[in-house]
Amino acid sequence: MLCKRFKKLIAAVLVTALLCGCGAHGDGNKTDSSDEPVTSEAAEASGEAPEKEKEETQALGNSSMAVGERPFLMGADAGRKESDVVPCVERYTVEPDLSNVDNLWQFYLEEGMTEKLSENGFVVSGFAGNEFFEIYETNRYNMVPNFVTVDSMMHTYHLYFSYLLKSLEKDYLAERLTQLSSRMLAGSVAQYEKLKGSEWENAAKRNVAFFTVGAKLLDNGTQIHEAVKDTVSYELEHIGQANGIDICQITADFEDYSQYKPRGYYEGDEKLEAYFKAMMWYGRIHFKQDNEELNRSALLITKAMDEDAEGYSLWESIYAVTSFFAGASDDCGVCEYAKVIREAYGDSIAAEDLIGNEQAFSTYLDQISKLPAPSINSIPIWDEEENVIPGFRFMGQRFTIDATIMQQLIYSNVKENSAGDKRMLPDVLDVPAALGSDKALEILKENGATDYAGYSENMEKLKDSLARADDTLWSASLYAGWLNTLRPLLNEKGEGYPLFMQSEEWTKKDLECFAGSFTELKHDTVLYTKQVIAEMGGGMEEEPDDRGYVEPEPIVYKRFADLADKTARGLESYGMLSDEDKENLSRLSALADQLLIISEKELRDETLTEAEYDLIRGYGGSIEHFWYETVKGESDEDFVATQECPAAIVVDIATDPNGTVLEAATGNPSTILVAVKVDGKLKLARGSVYSFYQFPQPLENRLTDSQWRVMIGIQADENGNYNYHTKIDKPEWTESYRFKYDWE
C-alpha cells in the first residue's frame, strides 16, 4: 500500500520550480531561460568591510532588500543537439581462442580472461593504477591501443567539480558563513534582551544558543552568553564526539550527531572542517511546526534576518552558490516564513510588539501550516510519525532526485518482507532502476527487494513519473545535470552497436559506471544533500598499430560538454571563476565534444582521421592535466604522486537509525580490455573503469576517505603499515564480467 503522502511526493518530483529555484514555496515566481543564476540586486556592503570584500560579497548576490524569494538557479538550456546517429557497425565475432585478434601478442591473458573476452567482447580485471589516467599513459608508452571510457571522463568531471566547490568554500563561503553567524547571533541577543519576561523569552534564548553553536564552530573566539552556556557546551560536545543519535537541547528532539564527522574532501583541513560542521548544523537542525516554541524561534530568526539587509545578502550568497552545485532545499526557511510573517503582523513590527499579540501569532501558525512539507526525511523518527515533518531550517540541506527515490523504497514507505524484515537501507541500484534500467530492477528482484510490501508498486510509480518529467528537471543544478549525463548508460544497446556493447554483461558494466560516478557525486555533495533515513524499527619485434577506440556514447559526451559549459557560465555569473579555471573547463568541454564526434563516426562504422587517433593516443595526458590541476595544491612539491591523491573515495548515503549506515565507495580503477574493430582489424584496446563497492557500516563510525584507503590497503595507516588482508567484496552482480586474480 502506498504511503498517504506518495502522490504529493511524486508531484514534488515533477514540480520543476522546486528544483530550479524555490518558487514552489513562494509566489510570483520569475522565469529565466538562461543558465545563469538570478539573484536580487547588489547592494552596498557595510562601511567596515574592505573594498575587496565589498566587491566579492556583491558578486555573490548582495541585497539591500528585505527577505524575499530564494535566488533562482540554472534555467533550462537548449545546449547542443542530442545525437540522432543510427548505429550501423558491421557485425563481427571474436574467436574462442582470440585467434582473429590482431594484437593479441601485446597481452598476457589468463584462461578465464580469454573466455570472457570471447563470450562478451570485453573483460574487467585487476587494477589500472591509483588514478584513471595512469593506464592510458602506460598504453601510450607501450603502444597499446587506448579504449577511452565514459568512466574516466566522469571521474575527471568529479575531480574538477570537487576542486571548484572546495575552493569556493575555503576562499569565499567559510568567511561569509562566519560573518552571517556573527550577525545572526548579535541580532538574536538583541531580541532576547528585549523579550525577557515575555512568552517569547525561551524562543529568543533558544536562538541565541543556536547561533552561538554555529558561530563557535567557525570561530572559537566567539563569546558565549551566560544564559546559554550549558546548552552550547552540550551541543558542541556532541558535535565534536559525533558518536550517534541523542537528544538535541535546541529542539528537544533526536539528532544524529554522527553526521557532523567531517568526511569527503573536508577531512584534515581545519578551516573546511569547521565550515562542514557549521553548515551541517544550519542544514539539519529542524524547527518543527508541531511545537509552538520552535515556531516562535523560527519567527524570530526570520525577523532578525528581515531587519538585516547585509545578513540576508550573506545568506542569499551562500545559498545561491551552494544550490547551483547541489540543488535547492525542500525545507521551508526564511524566504517562505518572511512572507507569512508580513501577512500576519504587517510589513514592519518591532520585537516588543510581538508580546501579547496572540491574534497575529495565531494567524502566523495557521499560515505556516499551509506551507509545503519537505519531500525527504533526514531526521530520526519513529513508526507512528509522518515520514516527513513540516518545519523550518535556517539553511536546509538539498532536495535531490535520488534521495526522493530512495526515500520511497525504504521503511516505512515499503513495509516488511515475507520473513518479517524491514528494508531499513536502500540499494544504489534503486536509483538506476527508477530511472528506467530493467537490468538494475532485475538484480534488485534477485536480491529480494521486490519481496518487501509496497516496493514494486512504489517503484512503478517512480518510474512512470520520472519517465514523464520534462527536461527542466535535469537542469536544476550541476548535481541534476551530472545525473542526467549518466542516464544514457541505462539504455540497453542492441543491433548496430559494437559487439561488446550488445551483451547483458556490458549492461551491467554500464550500471557499475553509473554507480561509481553516482558515488563520486554523493561524495562531493555530502555536506549539502539530504541523506535519507528510515524510520526506527621487454622490447618489440614489430611496431604495433596503436590506434584506439572511444566508448561510443555520444549522448553522454554531449551532456558532459553542456555540463562543463554550465559549470563555467554559472560560476562566471557569480564572479567566482578564475581565468585558469575557465580555460580548463573550456578544455574539458572541448574534449567531450571531440569524443562525441568520434563516437558518432564509430557508430556509423567510419574510419577516424589521424588527428582523431592522435587524440585517443594522448588521452591519458589530457585527463592527467585535469587531475594535476585539482591536486597540485595538496603538496608543497612540484611533483604529486597518485599514491598521495588516489581515486578511491567513500561516502555514506543513507542511515538506519538503529545503528547502521550504507556506505558507497570506489577503489582503485580497474582495467578493461575490449575487442574493437579499428579500420577493419579486430584488436584489443585497454582502458580504466570504476571499481564500485557498497556495504553497511556502524553509524557511529561513518568512514572518511583516509579510513577507507587504509582499509583497502591503498594508503598506509598512522604507523606506516599497509593493510593487505581485509577483503571487501564488490557487489555480486559485478563479478560475472570481471576476472579475479588469485592475489585479489
Q: Global pTM?
A: 0.90
Sign of CA dihedral 469, 472, 475, 479: negative
Of 70-79, 208-217, 300-309, 634-643, where does mean pLDDT reach its minimum?
Answer: 70-79
Q: What is the pLDDT of residues 609-645, one digit of tens each?
A: 999 999 999 999 999 999 999 998 876 667 788 888 9
Q: What gap in Å lies between CA 533 and CA 565, rounded to an integer?
A: 34
pLDDT tens digits, 2-56: 233 333 333 343 333 333 333 333 333 333 333 333 333 223 323 333 344 444 4
Q: How far apart are CA 564 and CA 587, in angstroms?
A: 9
Lowest mean pLDDT among 81-85, 686-690, 704-708: 81-85
For residue 368, what is the enclosing H or E element? helix 358-368
Residue identified by cell 579500420 is 679
Lowest mean pLDDT segment, chosen from 30-44, 179-193, 285-299, 305-319:
30-44
Q: Report how far residue 47's alpha carbon sits from residue 54's, in angstroms, rounded to the nearest whole number.
A: 9
> Which residue in 77, 45, 47 sits closest to 61, CA to CA?
45
Give the span between the Cα atoms of 360 and 362, in whole angstroms: 5
482-510: average pLDDT: 96
Strand order from edge to edge, sheet including 670-678 = 681-689, 670-678, 122-125, 738-739
Exposed / middle / buried, residue 227 (Cβ in 10 Å: 0-12, 13-18, 19+) = middle
Instruction: Kindly indicate the confidence band of residue 399, based on its pLDDT and cuts at 50, 70 and 90.
Output: confident
- For residues 68 and 699, give the distance between their C-alpha atoms in angstroms, rounded to a whole number: 38
Assigned C-alpha cell, 408: 520511497
**What is the rounded average pLDDT of the residues 725-740?**
91
pLDDT of residue 656: 93
What's the pLDDT band for 696 if we cut at 50, 70, 90? very high
% of the chain residues with pLDDT over 70 = 86
Of 661, 658, 617, 647, the residue nearest 708 (C-alpha): 647
Task: Please state, in angstroms and rounded to a whole number, the distance separating the CA atoms of residues 256 and 377.
Answer: 13
Mean pLDDT (the chain) is: 87
Q: What is the pLDDT of residue 23?
A: 33
The total number of residues shown for the chain amounts to 744
C-alpha distance across the termini of the chain, in Å: 44
- In this prediction, residues 402-406 reach a mean pLDDT of 93
Alpha-carbon torsion 596, 600, 605, 607, what sign? negative
- Read off the pLDDT of each residue in 183-195 and give the average, rounded to a whole number: 97
Which whole number is the average pLDDT over 291-305? 97
Task: Decide: 232 and 273 in contact? Cβ < 8 Å.
Answer: no
348: confidence class by pLDDT, cuts 50, 70, 90: confident
**pLDDT exceeds cutoff 70 at 511:** yes
Q: How confident is the model at residue 372 (pLDDT cuts 50, 70, 90)?
A: confident
72 secondary structure, DSSP code = B
Report CA-CA distances (Å) from 657 to 303, 378, 381, 403, 531.
Answer: 34, 10, 8, 16, 12
Say what the pLDDT of residue 330 is. Answer: 85
Q: How far is CA 402 from CA 391, 442, 536, 606, in A?
A: 22, 19, 21, 38
Least confident segment among 78-92, 131-145, 727-741: 78-92
Is residue 221 exposed (0-12), middle (13-18) or buried (19+ Cβ within 10 Å)?
exposed
pLDDT at residue 64 tops 60: no
Percentages (nearest 5) of helix, strand, coil residues in the chain: 50, 10, 40
Determine if residue 679 is left, alpha or beta; phi over 0 gives left, psi from -120 to 50 gives alpha, anything else beta. left
Asked if pLDDT for residue 536 goes beyond 70, the answer is: no
Q: What is the predicted pLDDT for the residue at 472?
A: 85
Q: Which of 13-17, 257-261, 663-667 has the lowest mean pLDDT?
A: 13-17
Do 492 and 505 contact (CB within 8 A), yes or no?
no
With cell 561488446, the residue in question is 500
What is the C-alpha separation between 703 and 715, in angstroms, rounded? 15
